[in-house]
Amino acid sequence: MASHRRSAQPGQTRSAKVTVLSAAAVTAAAALGAVPASADPQDTPEPTRAGVDRLFEEAEKATERFNQADERADQLRAQVDRAQDRLARGQERINRMRGALGAVAGAQYRSGGIDPALVLLLTADPDDYLDKAAVLDRITARQTGQLQELREEQRRLGQQRTEAGCTLAELERSRAAVARHKRTVERKLAEARRLLNALPDGEREEFDRASRSGRDGVLPPLSDSPAASARGLAALMAARQAIGKPYVWGSTGPSGFDCSGLMVWSYRQAGVGLPRTSQAQRYAGRQVPLSEARPGDLVTYRSDASHVGMYAGNGQVIHAPYPGAAVRYDPVGMMPGATVTRV
């Protein structure tokens, strides 16, 4: 049978091999040229001001998550304290009820064992006995009621213990969240400082100048537009006093502030309690258009409300920008997604 395999001509064998090898070499070279010198996805990007800003923004978001978890932990600690106080008082009531019931039961035991009809037959004063029997019936009925009350109190105490246990478990989870967010903030800030230190001298100096703005001690005049309320004006005056104080993440002052902490402290001086986080502060009052902002209004930024400042009039806000920067004035349009809240 004839073979279907075509034999290569002697003159073609070497040239075909050269052609194949040449094509393979070209393909390999192209492939090598397409692969960067280091394909590690964890390679550090070239340090830029945008990279530093991004890390500061991420640290600020983590700071607000830390503030939220820390606020929740404080609330849970207060709940646990109240629950433990209720449990102690409930146990004390149960102990008193048990003591009273035990005393009655002991007296009945000591005087028991004789049939009531026989006692009535043998008594010298039947009327007196019947009076005592009626009293005893009333005592027995009251004792039954006290026993029922004791059981109900024990049931309530058991439920309170269960609820307190759940609150304690949530407190432990909240504490873990606080620690986790704290580590995230510290890591982001360390990365930002490393990138900042790696910037070229000119860019780093420009960044530092921007960070120091507002620290010269000269405050701009108050806006001609009136504040929305007396408390808004009082909060604005307090915020002006904080100009030049450092950004300290997780702090509500008075020596340093994060962005939402500055709002909490300023409004506290006006006798108003604000939520701890910028996300909650966005809904701490009535929202108004940016065009209608008045001094003392809160201005939150970005879609997630991860930054907040206070409108100061003249198109400016007072805010705590980021670590390394002091509380200062900046244009109200410095970030996207501005939302105005009137407290």
The CA radius of gyration of the chain, in Å to the nearest whole number, is 39
Active site residue 166: no
- What phi and psi values does residue 252 have, to the nearest 5 degrees? -110, 25
Q: Which residues of 154-181 are buried (b: 16+ CB within 10 A; e: fewer)?
A: eeebeebeeebeebbebbeebbebbeeb
Identified catalytic residue from 4, 166, 181, 319: 319
Structure-token match 């304290």, residue found: 81
Rounded to whole angstroms, how far apart are CA atoms 59 and 243?
Answer: 22
User: Phi-psi region for residue 288, left (φ > 0), alpha (ψ -120 to 50) or beta?
Assistant: beta
Active site residue 4: no
How many CB atoms lie under 10 A from the CB of residue 9?
A: 8
Identified catalytic residue from 4, 166, 181, 307: 307
Which residue type is seen at 221? P
Q: Say if CB 331 and CB 273 are below 8 A apart.
A: no
How many CB atoms lie under 10 A from the CB of residue 74?
A: 13
Which residue type is seen at 314? N
SS3 state at 330: strand
From the list 290, 269, 267, the residue with the least C-alpha distance to 343 is 267
From the list 237, 261, 244, the residue with the least C-alpha distance to 309 is 261
Rounded to whole angstroms, how far apart are CA atoms 198 and 43?
Answer: 15
Starting at the edge strand that comes first in sequence, how are the strands of the sheet with 328-331 ordered?
Answer: 286-288, 339-342, 298-301, 307-313, 316-319, 328-331
SS3 state at 12: coil
Identified catalytic residue from 4, 166, 181, 259: 259
Active site residue 319: yes
Catalytic residues: 259, 307, 319
